[in-house]
Amino acid sequence: MSAEPPTPRTAGPRTAGPEKVVVVGHGMVGHRLVEALLARPGTASDGTAAGRDITVLSQEPHRAYDRVALSATFDGAGAESLRLPQLDESRIDLRLGVSAASVDRAARAVLTSDGERISYDQLVLATGSYPFVPPVPGHDAAGCFVYRTLDDLAAINEAARSALATAPHRPAGVVIGGGLLGLEAANALRLLGLAPHIVEMAPHLMAVQLDEGGGALLGGLVAGLGVTVHCGTGTARVLTSASAAGGPAPARDGAGRVTGVELADGTVLPASVVVFATGVRPRDQLARDMGLDIGPRGGVLVNEACQSVSDPRVWAVGEVACVDGAVYGLVAPGYAMAETVADRLAGGAAVFPGADMSTKLKLLGVDVASFGDAHGRTPGALSVVLNDPVRRAYGKLVVSDDAATLLGGILVGDAGRYPMLRALVGSPLPADPSVLLAPEGAGASSADAGTGLAALPDSAQVCSCNAVSKGDLLTAISSGAATDVPGLKACTRAGTGCGSCVPALRQLLAVAGVAQSTALCEHFAASRAELFEITRGAGIRTFSELVTRYGRGRGCDICKPAVASILASLHTGDHILDGERGALQDTNDRHLANMQRYGTYSVVPRIPGGEITPAKLMVIARVAEDFGLYTKITGGQRIDLLGARLEQLPLIWKRLTDAGFESGHAYGKALRTVKSCVGSTWCRYGVQDSVGLAIELELRYRGLRSPHKLKGGVSGCARECAEARSKDFGVIATENGWNLYVGGNGGFRPRHAELLVSDVPTGELIMIIDRFLMFYIRTADRLQRTAAWIEAMDGGLDHLRDVIVNDSLGICADLEAAMARHITDYADEWQAVLADPARLARFASFVNAPAAPDPAISFTAERGQKVPVSLGGYPPIPADSPGPMGFSSQAPASG
Ligand SMILES: Cc1cc2nc3c(=O)[nH]c(=O)nc-3n(C[C@H](O)[C@H](O)[C@H](O)COP(=O)(O)OP(=O)(O)OC[C@H]3O[C@@H](n4cnc5c(N)ncnc54)[C@H](O)[C@@H]3O)c2cc1C
C-alpha cells in the first residue's frame, strides 16, 4: 500500500507577532543553537522585543545527546548520561520523532512528517550528516550497521549479543574503514566481546590525520590490543547466508544475514557483524529539494554569517553547512556556527571565525595527535621525525623551509607534548625540532655524526634524539653489552629516534673493531648483494623459494620489496604483478602508479629525452581533460597527470598506450628519465646531439629495476643545461666525444656526479653505462643510491673505474650480457596489464563494482585545475584547511 502524502493541518501565510524560528534537526549543533537563542533577547517581526517563537523538529525520537561520547555507552554509560543540558522546554516547541518533509520557501512554511505545516520567519537547517556506505554487494544485509546514532549502537549491541549467544567460538566483527570512527567502532566491538577486524583501503590507519610512520605505529599498537588490521585492501563484498565465499554475489543486496566479508585480495573474514565507518556526507536532501545552492562536495552553501546564499531567511549550521566551500565534520565548528546564527538572529553582526582542525584523542587507549600542517603541504616545508620503536612513540614536526617556524606535527603513542606544540604552530621555534620531539631529558644540541666521528670528544652527542653521547656508545661497545647496531639501539636507545645517527653507530662499531652484520633483515642473514647472487646462482624465481631455502619466516616490508626488485632485475621477461610477486611489491608498484594524497594516483607516461610531438602533446591534453586530471611539467622533462582514481588508471593508460605512450616507471625503483638540453641540433653552443643520445639511453634502460630510482642526463656542451651532473649517470658532450659522470644525486643529501671517463665515443660510452648500471644493481644495498654506493665502496670511484672500465674483476662481459637480456626482454608494463583481465582486476576501488568510483576522493579547484581535498575517511577536510580534520580535543562535549 502506498502512503498518501500528509495533508497539512494548518496553512496560509504567517501572522504578525513574535518572530517564528524553525530549527530542523536536534543534534548537537541544533541544540546549541536553541540554547544560544534562548540566552538572547528576542526580536519580534515588528521590531519590538517580544520573545521568539521557536519550533524544533527532531527526526530522532530522543532529546539531543552527546554524539561525540556515543561510544561511552559500550563502556557502561547509560544513554541518559549522554543527555545535553536541559533546554527550557516551556519556551520552545520541541517535536521529537518529527522530521521536516519539505519546505515551501515561497510561503515560508515547513511541512512536517506528521502532516503539519509550520510557518517561519527564519529557518535554520541543522540536519547534520549521514554515514556513507559504499555500494559493495551485501552492504544492506541483516547484520550490517553504521555508527552514528543511539539507535545504531543499540542495534549493534543487540546483534553482538545474539552472535555471542549462538556462535560456538568467539564471533568476529568487521569494521570497514580505518579512520577515527572505524577505530571507535572496533573498540566498541571489542568491548562487546567480538573479535574485531578493521579493513582500510589506505596503506595505514587514520590516513587523513597521520603519515605513514605514525599510521604504522598506530597499526602496531592497535594490533597489540587485539584488533586485526587489514590495510591497503578494499572490501569486495559482504558475505551473507544467501551467498558464499567464492560463489556468486547475492542475488540482491540485503538478502540473508551477514556471515563474513570478502576482501579485495580474496581474504575471507568470517563475521557476524559488519560496521561501515567509511565517511559521512552532509544531510542536504531537504535543502536540495528546496532549491538552495549546494556546495561542491555537498552541504548548504552559506556565507560567513551561515546564511544560505540563495535565501536570506534560511540558515545552516553544523555538518550540513558548507562555509566558504568547506564542510566540517567536527562539533566545535558547528558550535561556532550556532553562536554566529544566534547572534545574527538577535540583530548582531557575528561571522563564523573558522576552525582549528587539530586532533588529539585516545583511541583504544592509544594517544594520537595531529595538528597544523601535519602532512607538510606548505611549499618547502621540512619534516623532522622521531620514530622510537623502543618507547613505542612516533613524533613528527613540520617546519618552514628556513626551519624557523613550526607548521604542524603528528604524535602517536605519546602525545604529552601536544598542548605545547599545538600552541607553537605558526610561531618561531624555540629550539631545534629534534629537541622539541625528544623524550624528557634529551639534550638540546646535535652532534654531526656523519663526519670526523673519531675526532669527536667522548662527550659529543651522537644521537640527539635520545641524548646519547659518543662516550655512552663506546662504553656499551667496550663492555660487550652491544656488538651490533640493534644491540646499541637496545641498550642506549641511540638510533631509535629519527635514525639519522645509525650510520654513525656503524662507524663507531667499526672504529672499535667490531665486525658488522650486513644481513638484509631478520629474515635473511645475507646482504642484498649476496641475495642477488644467491637468487641468480640458484635460479630462484619466487620469494617463497628464496625464503624457504635461504631465509626464515614469512618476510617483511624490508625484504619483500627488495627481493621483488632482485627478481625483476634477474627475470626481466616476467611481469612484476604476476603470481606471488604482485603481493611483494610496495604500494606504488602494486598499482603501477604513484599513490598521491587522498588515495589519488598519478600517471606519468615516458617522454624519452623530453622530446614530444605536438600530436602526442594533444593526446596528453585530451586525456587530462577527459579524465579531469591535474597536469604539471616535471623536473625530469615529462608531464605528470595527477588526480586519477584507481579504477580510472586502466582507462587512462588504454588511451595513452593506443597513442604510443609507455609507462614512465615513475612509481618504481627503476630508471625514471634521461634529461637533455636541445643540443647541437638547435643550440648555437651545442657540440653533440644530446637529445638523440638521451632518447637512446632512456629507451635502452627503460623498465630497468634497481636498488633505488635512477636518473640520467645528457648535456650538449660544457654549459650543462641538462644538469647532468646531478644525475646517477650524467653525460656531457665534448669536442671529442662524451664525458661520463657517475654518482650524482638529488634528494636529502644532494651530490654532484664525479668524472669516470672522458672524451669517449658513443659506443664505448653506452657500454660503460651498461656495466655501471648492472654492477650497481647487483652490488648495492637496498635503497642505496649510487652516490652512497660509490662512497661505501672500498677504493671508491677508482675501484669502480677499475671494475667497469678496466674489467679488473673480469665480470664486464657478464654485466653487458645481463643488460642485453634486459633490453631484449623489455615490455611495457601497462600494455601487459591492459592485455590481461586477471591483471586488470587489481584496478578497482570496489572489486565487485569495478565501475564504482572511490567515493572517498573529491576535488576542488586551484589555479584553474582540480586538486584533491580529502581521503574521505571521517571527517572530511575543508577545501581551504591547511591541516587535517578530525575530532577535536577542543570540542567541548556539551555546552
Ligand atoms: C561516534 C562518533 C564520535 C564522534 N566523535 C567526535 C569527536 O571526538 N569530536 C568531534 O568534534 N566530533 C565528533 N563526532 C562528530 C560530531 O558528533 C558531529 O560533528 C556533530 O554531532 C554534528 O552535529 P550536527 O548537529 O551538525 O549533526 P547531528 O549531530 O548529526 O544532528 C543532526 C540531527 O538532525 C536530524 N535530522 C536530519 N534531518 C532531519 C529532518 N529533515 N528533520 C528533522 N530532523 C532531522 C538528525 O536525525 C540528527 O538528529 C563524532 C561523531 C560520532 C558519530
CA of 415 to the centre of ligand 1 (A): 27
Alpha carbon nearest to ligand 1 atom 24, residue: 128
Rounded distance, CA 256 to CA 249, Å?
12
Average pLDDT over residues 287-304: 96
For 558, phi then psi, to 5°, come to: -85, -50
Query: Which cell is 97 given?
Result: 520523532
Average pLDDT over residues 539-557: 87
Average pLDDT over residues 296-318: 97
Residues 879, 869 contacting (CB under 8 angstroms): yes
Give the range among 282-296, 660-674, 697-711, 740-754 with minimum mean pLDDT.
Answer: 740-754
pLDDT(731) > 90: yes
Give the range among 169-173, 296-300, 358-362, 678-682 with minimum mean pLDDT.
Answer: 358-362
pLDDT(37) > 70: yes
pLDDT given at position 75 = 62
pLDDT(272) > 90: yes
CA of 30 to the centre of ligand 1 (A): 9
Average pLDDT over residues 69-95: 81
For 436, phi then psi, to 5°, come to: -65, -30
Atom index in ligand 1 nearest the CA of residue 64 equals 49
Whether 889 is in the pocket of ligand 1, judged by its Cβ within 6 Å, is: no
Rounded distance, CA 850 to CA 834, Å?
15
Whether 891 is in the pocket of ligand 1, judged by its Cβ within 6 Å, is: yes
- The confidence band for 579, taking pLDDT boundaries of 50, 70 and 90, is confident
The residues, ordered by sequence, that sit 6+ positions from 162 with a Cβ below 8 Å of its Cβ are none
Alpha carbon nearest to ligand 1 atom 41, residue: 100
pLDDT(246) > 80: no
pLDDT(15) > 80: no
Q: Could you tell me where the beta strands, DSSP code E, fall in 551-651?
A: 594-595, 601-603, 630-633, 639-644
For 734, phi then psi, to 5°, come to: -125, 175
pLDDT given at position 420 = 62
Whether 119 is in the pocket of ligand 1, judged by its Cβ within 6 Å, is: no
Inter-CA distances, 598 with 583, 876, 880, Å: 22, 11, 15
Rounded distance, CA 109 to CA 678, Å?
70
Residues 100, 24 contacting (CB under 8 angstroms): yes
pLDDT(222) > 70: yes
Nearest to 854 by CA among 620, 615, 591, 612: 591
More confident residue, 322 or 578: 322
Alpha carbon nearest to ligand 1 atom 31, residue: 27
pLDDT given at position 582 = 79
94: amino acid identity, one letter: L
Whether 620 is in the pocket of ligand 1, judged by its Cβ within 6 Å, is: no
Whether 790 is in the pocket of ligand 1, judged by its Cβ within 6 Å, is: no
Among 127, 181, 302, 358, which residue has the most ligand 1 atoms within 8 Å of its CB, making it the best to mutate?
127
More confident residue, 71 or 808: 808
Whether 29 is in the pocket of ligand 1, judged by its Cβ within 6 Å, is: yes
CA of 377 to the centre of ligand 1 (A): 29
Average pLDDT over residues 414-430: 72
- The confidence band for 857, taking pLDDT boundaries of 50, 70 and 90, is low
Rounded distance, CA 546 to CA 567, Å?
10
Task: Tell me if residue 684 falls in helix, strand or coil.
Answer: coil
CA of 206 to the centre of ligand 1 (A): 20
Residues 712, 675 contacting (CB under 8 angstroms): yes
pLDDT given at position 520 = 87
- List pLDDT tens digits, range 104-148: 999 999 999 999 999 999 999 999 999 999 999 999 999 999 999
Average pLDDT over residues 778-782: 93
CA of 91 to the centre of ligand 1 (A): 24
With residue 228 as reference, give the H or E element that holds it.
strand 228-231
CA of 311 to the centre of ligand 1 (A): 24
Among 319, 885, 890, which residue has the most ligand 1 atoms within 8 Å of its CB, making it the best to mutate?
319
Residues 433, 445 contacting (CB under 8 angstroms): no
Whether 152 is in the pocket of ligand 1, judged by its Cβ within 6 Å, is: no
Whether 174 is in the pocket of ligand 1, judged by its Cβ within 6 Å, is: no
Alpha carbon nearest to ligand 1 atom 11, residue: 330
Query: Which cell is 240 given?
Result: 551473507
Q: pLDDT exceeding 90 applies to what percent of the chain? A: 57
CA of 735 to the centre of ligand 1 (A): 73
Among 59, 337, 368, 370, which residue has the most ligand 1 atoms within 8 Å of its CB, making it the best to mutate?
59
- The confidence band for 891, taking pLDDT boundaries of 50, 70 and 90, is very low
Among 60, 280, 331, 363, which residue has the most ligand 1 atoms within 8 Å of its CB, making it the best to mutate?
331
> How is residue 352 annotated by DSSP?
-
Inter-CA distances, 371 with 298, 437, 610, Å: 25, 14, 40
Give the range among 300-314, 511-525, 544-558 with minimum mean pLDDT.
Answer: 511-525
Whether 323 is in the pocket of ligand 1, judged by its Cβ within 6 Å, is: no
- The confidence band for 798, taking pLDDT boundaries of 50, 70 and 90, is very high
Strands of the sheet containing 737-742, edge to edge, are: 671-676, 710-715, 729-734, 737-742, 754-760
Residues 688, 679 contacting (CB under 8 angstroms): yes
Atom index in ligand 1 nearest the CA of residue 329 equals 19
Atom index in ligand 1 nearest the CA of residue 128 equals 27
CA of 152 to the centre of ligand 1 (A): 13
- List pLDDT tens digits, range 600-628: 789 999 999 999 999 999 999 999 999 99
Burial of 298 per CB tally in 10 Å (0-12, 13-18, 19+): buried
Length of the chain: 895
pLDDT(452) > 50: no
> How is residue 708 annotated by DSSP?
S
Average pLDDT over residues 266-273: 95
Cis-peptide into 41, omega within 30 deg: no
660: amino acid identity, one letter: G
pLDDT given at position 470 = 83
pLDDT given at position 462 = 67
Atom index in ligand 1 nearest the CA of residue 32 equals 25
Rounded distance, CA 126 to CA 346, Å?
18
Average pLDDT over residues 276-281: 95
Rounded distance, CA 26 to CA 561, Å?
52
Q: pLDDT exceeding 70 applies to what percent of the chain? A: 84
308: amino acid identity, one letter: S
pLDDT given at position 447 = 31
pLDDT given at position 465 = 47
Among 59, 60, 63, 67, which residue has the most ligand 1 atoms within 8 Å of its CB, making it the best to mutate?
67
pLDDT given at position 887 = 31
Give the range among 36-50, 290-304, 735-749, 855-869 with minimum mean pLDDT.
Answer: 36-50
CA of 825 to the centre of ligand 1 (A): 58
Among 22, 68, 98, which residue has the most ligand 1 atoms within 8 Å of its CB, making it the best to mutate?
68
Alpha carbon nearest to ligand 1 atom 30, residue: 128
Inter-CA distances, 829 with 433, 624, 767, Å: 42, 21, 25
**Beta strands at 129-131 and 258-263: parallel, antiparallel or unpaired:** unpaired
**Beta strands at 122-125 and 314-316: parallel, antiparallel or unpaired:** parallel
> How is residue 146 annotated by DSSP?
E
Average pLDDT over residues 704-720: 95
Whether 28 is in the pocket of ligand 1, judged by its Cβ within 6 Å, is: yes
Phi-psi region of 835 (alpha: psi -120 to 50; beta: other; left: phi over 0): alpha
CA of 27 to the centre of ligand 1 (A): 5
Alpha carbon nearest to ligand 1 atom 8, residue: 887
Task: Tell me if residue 125 falls in helix, strand or coil.
Answer: strand
**Degrees to nearest 5, angle at CA 557 with 490 and 533:** 100
Rounded distance, CA 487 to CA 806, Å?
41
Burial of 545 per CB tally in 10 Å (0-12, 13-18, 19+): middle
pLDDT(841) > 70: yes
Query: Which cell is 580 given?
Result: 606471488
- The confidence band for 454, taking pLDDT boundaries of 50, 70 and 90, is low
Whether 186 is in the pocket of ligand 1, judged by its Cβ within 6 Å, is: no
With residue 858 as reference, give the H or E element that holds it.
strand 858-862
Alpha carbon nearest to ligand 1 atom 37, residue: 127
- CA 534 to chain centroid, in Å, comes to 36
Whether 333 is in the pocket of ligand 1, judged by its Cβ within 6 Å, is: no
pLDDT(769) > 90: yes
Rounded distance, CA 456 to CA 453, Å?
5
